[in-house]
Amino acid sequence: MKALIHRYILQSRTVLISCGLAIFAFMSLRVWSITLLGSEEFREIIEHFKDFEKFSPVPFTQLITYTGRVARTFNEPIVLFIILIWTISRGSDAVAGQINRGTIEMVLGNPVSRAKVYWSQFLVTTTGTLLLSTLAWLGMVFSVYQNNVEEVVKPPSISVPYLPIEIPLSTAEPEIIQKPMSEFVNVWDFIPALTIIFAMGLFVAGFATMVSSFDRVRWRAVGIAVGFVIAQQTMRILAISKPEFNYLLNYTFFNPFDPEGLVNVLTDDPDQFWQFWQYGLHDSIRLSAVGCHTILIGLGMLCYVVGSWRFCRRDLPAPL
């Protein structure tokens, strides 16, 4: 099995290195861009978009903070795209890719079982997913400790009771001071974002591998996996856009994938973070951190088991 793992690592190293460099660089640059806009300036901008708060997984009051904005970077489309490139490319190659290339017959011609061939792919793909998730977090950490943020210190003033008026006590101009971003952001609060990205990647990789186990053409397995992800995202957008379609959230894996929400729960109420369920707005029940991770990892492992069962029992066709 060591030889198989070594072989699959060599096959996937180019994609893994490319995705790793891309996700680290993007997270570093994305967090750096947050420092260009102070909290007060961002508050003034976001006030004009109150009608779009329903599309945000966290309230705008949380999004205004530096922690909320940094957490938002883990849900950026580019981060998801990089994770999906890795998971779908490796999952589709597990069975259908090798059949398509005609290499599976040569591999199985050696004294090795189909189960070992299958689960060695699982080990390489899962380890790569964890590595990419960690690099996303490390890119954020690097940027947080390397950058400063501007804070505006206004001159002292007094407020008029019952009126939204403040009378300045000095004619001095507001002072702008530089502070390390690390004073406003605790990097360890973002571990849930790292783990939920890994859990989402494991599920998508499991689904792509399962589809690959039933097929013989890699491009078709890739198409099915990509179509599934697009359909799931479309269902989520429709569900949060129209209240009558809220039930669709129960059928999309993007619902438990909520890095901003998990970071918010950890920082605001650590006790609820470790519960399976938690109460959201209007006392509605939704998945908490344990529930989100359990759903995604559980479904991912179920897909892997189904794919293993299929691969170990199917007749292998000749390559096209």
pLDDT tens figures, 294-307: 999 999 999 999 99
49 contacts 171 by C-beta, under 8 angstroms? no
DSSP-derived secondary structure letter, 94:
I
Q: What is the DSSP string of 282-309?
A: GG-EEE-HHHHHHHHHHHHHHHHHHHHH
Residue 168 lies in a domain: no
Range of 141's domain? 2-147+183-313
Encoded tokens for 143 = 């940027």
Report the alpha-carbon distance of residue 74 to residue 176 in Å, rounded: 29
Contact (Cβ atoms closer than 8 angstroms) between residue 32 and residue 143: yes
In a domain, 178, yes or no: no
pLDDT digits (tens, 9 = 90+) for 181-203: 888 888 999 999 999 999 999 99
The residue type of 74 is: F
Per DSSP, helices labelled H in 147-277 are 191-214, 218-241, 259-268, 270-273
Which DSSP symbol is given to 95?
A: I
The answer to the question of residue 263 being in a domain is yes
Give the distance, in angstroms, between the CA of residue 83 and the centroid of all CA atoms in the same chain.
8
Phi, psi of 101 (to 5 degrees): -85, -15
What is the chain's Cα-based Rg? 24
Residue 52 has pLDDT above 60, yes or no: no
Total count of domains within the chain: 1
User: Does 234 reside within a domain?
Assistant: yes
Residues 231-266: b if buried by 16+ CB within 10 A, e if exposed: ebeebbeebbeeeeeeebbeebbbbbbbbbbbbbbb
Mean pLDDT of 79-97: 94
Q: Is residue 173 part of a domain?
A: no
**Digit-coded pLDDT (tens) for 56-68:** 555 555 667 788 8
Task: Output the CA–CA distances (angstroms, integers) from residue 242 to 55, 168, 236, 237, in the order listed.
Answer: 11, 46, 10, 9
Q: Is residue 209 part of a domain?
A: yes
Please report how many Cα atoms fall inside a 13 Å half-sphere around the Cα of residue 113, on the Cβ side: 7
For residue 281, pLDDT over 50 is answered with no
In this model, does residue 155 exceed pLDDT 80? Answer: no
Name the least confident of 126-130, 189-193, 243-247, 268-272. 268-272
21-25, 194-198, 247-251, 275-279: the lowest-pLDDT one: 275-279
Give the best-scoring range by mean pLDDT among 106-115, 226-235, 239-248.
226-235
Structure tokens of 274? Answer: 């470790």
Name every residue whose Cβ is closer than 8 Å to that of residue 289 and which is 6 or more positions away in sequence. Answer: 192, 196, 262, 265, 266, 273, 274
Q: What is the 3-state secondary structure (H, E, C) of 205-223?
A: HHHHHHHHHHCCCHHHHHH
Angle between helices 191-214 and 114-146 (to 10 degrees): 150
pLDDT at 283: 44
**Is residue 47 in some structural domain?**
yes
Rounded-to-integer distance, Cα 303 and Cα 205, Å: 9
| Higher pLDDT, residue 140 or 269 | 140
* 320 domain residue, yes or no: no
Q: What distance in Å separates the CA atoms of residue 164 and residue 31, rounded to the nearest whole number? A: 34
Please report, in angstroms and rounded to a whole number, the separation of the first and last CA atoms in the chain.
27
Tokens found for residue 302? 């179920």
